[in-house]
Every structure is written in C-alpha cells, then in structure tokens.
Amino acid sequence: MELELRHLRTVRAIADTGSLTKAAATLGLAQPALSAQLRRIEKALGGPLFDRDHTGARPTLLGELVLERARVVLPAVSELQEEAVRFANAWGTMERFRLGGTHGPLLGGLVDRLVTAHPTAPVSTYTSWSVAEIASQLVDGRLDFALIGTCGESPPPGSDRLTWQVIGVDPVFVMLPDTHPLAGEQELDLSALADECWADVPGEGCFADCFISACARAGFSPVSVYETDTASVVHLVQVGRAVGLCRATFPPAPGVVTRPITGSPLSWRHLLGWHPRSAAADAAAGAVSGYTRAAYAEAVERSESYTRWLAAHPRFGAAM
C-alpha cells in the first residue's frame, strides 16, 4: 500500500483526539474501519504508530516521526490547493477589477474612480451582507478587492490570510425624520430615544450586541429593532415608523436628518481588503487604496454637519 494524504490525516486525527473512538467520529468513520485502516498504515510504514490501551492512544517514537512530517506536509498541500484555485480563478493581468462589498456608498465611489482611470477595463461588483462570504471569495481568488465594515475594533474575517487596510472610522449616527421633535438638536443622548422603535441593516459581527449594550448603559432596552435593507430603513424613518442607525458618512436622503450620539458609543471601521499573494495585490493595491480613500473623503465632504463634527473629534475620520 502506498501512503496517501488521507492516511496522514488519519494519523493526525488519532493523535489530536488521543482516541480511535474520537478520531473515528471526527473523520466520519466507523471505529472498526478506522482500526483496519490504521493497521494497513502501520504495515506500510514498518511498525506501530500508537500505543493503545483503555486510556487512549499515544504516539510511539515512529508515530512522532510520522506526525512531525504530517504537520509539515498537510498544511503545505492545503496551501497549494488554495494557490491553485486562486490561479485558476484569476486572469493573467489586471485588465479587469472584481470588487466585493457590503452595501454602502464607498463601493459606488470606488467603481466611479476605477472606470474613470481605466475606461477599457471591465469592472464587476458582488455585494452581500455577509463579510465572511466576501472574505471567502477573496481567499478563493473570485474577488480582487473587497470593501467591508466592522464594528468598533472587532477583527475582520480571514485576518490571518488576507490584508485589510483601514480607510476610515465613522461614529454611528441616529437617523430621524426631519419632523421629529429632536431633529433640531445638534447631538442626541441615546436615552432621549428610549421610547423609539429602531431600524438598521442586517449583518454579521457584534454590532447588534454593541447597540443593545449601549442602550443598557443609557438605561433602557430598545422597544424593537427592524433589520432590513437600506432603502427600507430610510423609508421607515421617513414615515415616522422608526429611528435609524447609520454611519456618519450616510448620504443625505429627503425628509431625513442624521445626528451624532453623545459620547459616540458606537463606531464603524471601513476596510479595504485583498489577498497578499494575488495578482491584484501586485498590480493595483496601491492605486485601489488611493481611489477608496478619495471615495471616503468625498463621502465625508457631502455632509457639512459631519465635517464640522470631525473638527472636534479627531479620533474619527480618514485613517492615516
């Protein structure tokens, strides 16, 4: 019998779990089948790999040798497979841009600048509320760059395999109908909105929990929170059904005003990501980063109230 990768995975599973019973469950095999497979592996390698008794399975000296090699070979093969997938999904040059993102104005601003700078290059976009899905597409080479957001200082998905660059940090503002009694205030205490219903866009991460915690610190629990798409959030605010939560760079909408929350208890980081070994990283990461920063600056400038607010709150705004 020739040794195969699946045999190394079997040996590693037994060592990691310390038991043939647990390893069989991990691998989705019946224990007799796993025991038979281990005997064939041991025969092929020339001796027992584990000492087994009623307390479990412990590697022999030969087993330790095999495990040492397996811990090098298996990650290397996995990396090779990922590289092959990225290569198969990539074109040879940056004659196109495949962008992913959560829903927001920065993605549109980036597309505008790419089309202007590269008028003959196709630009495609993929949007999803799931930042994990977008990160997975970057890892697989199906996207070249991605624009996402994360709550506060929470890490982005795939941070051990992808490069993420902070573009800007926004406070989270409250969105009110312009007829709301508090619409004329320059800044709002969260407690002043204790009796309101709320609207927000869906997403992963800790934002929902952070919002609930901020409300608790302000002395109340939200009456209800509607999670829906951006257009529906704006509509719910316009008709007075709810007040909304939005990034400070949220573009102006008819009949709606946005106001900062006292103490800025919630914040949102805008991130641009790519795979460090992709063709996109070599060819265009610097330029795309510059276009994205310009799109963010434009989004800030569209709001005079946010621009004024930033002057007194320098920890927010464009990342240096």
Task: Give pLDDT, residue 253.
Answer: 87
Q: How far apart are CA 262 and CA 157, in angstroms?
A: 30
Write the CA distances from 95 to 92, 256, 320, integer angstroms.
8, 41, 29
Question: Longest Cα pair distance anywhere in the chain, in angstroms?
Answer: 82
Q: Label the pairing between strands 56-59 and 225-227.
A: unpaired
Instruction: Point out which residues pair with 57 in neighbouring strands.
Output: 52
φ, ψ (nearest 5 deg) of residue 164: -120, 130
Task: Give pLDDT, residue 84.
Answer: 62
CATH of the structural domain 92-320, one choice from 3.30.420.240, 3.40.50.300, 3.40.190.290, 3.40.470.10: 3.40.190.290
Q: How far apart are CA 96 and CA 288, in angstroms?
A: 12
Task: Give pLDDT, residue 93.
Answer: 47
Write the CA distances from 45 to 3, 62, 151, integer angstroms.
8, 9, 51
* Cβ partners under 8 Å of residue 99, min gap 6: 107, 110, 111, 114, 123, 124, 125, 126, 143, 144, 145, 146, 147
Task: Give pLDDT, residue 54.
Answer: 85
Instruction: Point out which residues pair with 50 in neighbouring strands.
Output: 59
Q: Label the pairing between strands 243-247 and 225-227.
A: unpaired
* 3-class DSSP string for the chain: CCCCHHHHHHHHHHHHHCCHHHHHHHHCCCHHHHHHHHHHHHHHHCCCCEEEECCEEEECHHHHHHHHHHHHHHHHHHHHHHHHHHHHHCCCCCCCEEEEECCCHHHHHHHHHHHHHCCCCCEEEEECCCHHHHHHHHHCCCCCEEEEEEECCCCCCCCCCCEEEEEEEEEEEEEEECCCCCCCCCCECHHHHCCCCEEECCCCCCHHHHHHHHHHHCCCCCCCEEECCHHHHHHHHHCCCCEEEEECCCCCCCCEEEECECCCCCEEEEEEEECCCCHHHHHHHHHHHHHHHHHHHHHHHCCHHHHHHHHCCCCCEECC
Write the CA distances from 147 to 82, 101, 150, integer angstroms.
22, 5, 10
Q: Per-residue pLDDT tens, the chain, 320 aa: give them.
A: 778 888 889 999 999 999 888 988 988 888 888 888 999 998 888 999 999 888 889 999 998 999 998 888 888 788 777 766 655 555 444 578 999 998 777 899 999 999 998 888 889 999 998 999 999 999 988 999 999 999 998 999 888 889 999 999 999 999 999 999 999 999 999 999 999 999 999 888 899 999 999 999 999 999 999 999 999 999 999 999 999 999 999 888 899 999 999 999 999 999 999 999 887 777 788 999 999 999 999 999 888 778 889 989 989 999 87
Tokens 């495949």, residue located: 98
Q: At 157, list the tokens.
A: 């998905």
CATH of the structural domain 5-89, one choice from 1.10.10.10, 3.40.50.150, 1.25.40.10, 3.40.50.1980: 1.10.10.10
Task: Give pLDDT, residue 87.
Answer: 53
Task: Give pLDDT, residue 320.
Answer: 75
Write the CA distances from 259 to 207, 227, 252, 268, integer angstroms.
19, 20, 12, 15
Give residue limits of the domains in the chain: 5-89, 92-320
pTM of the entire predicted model: 0.70
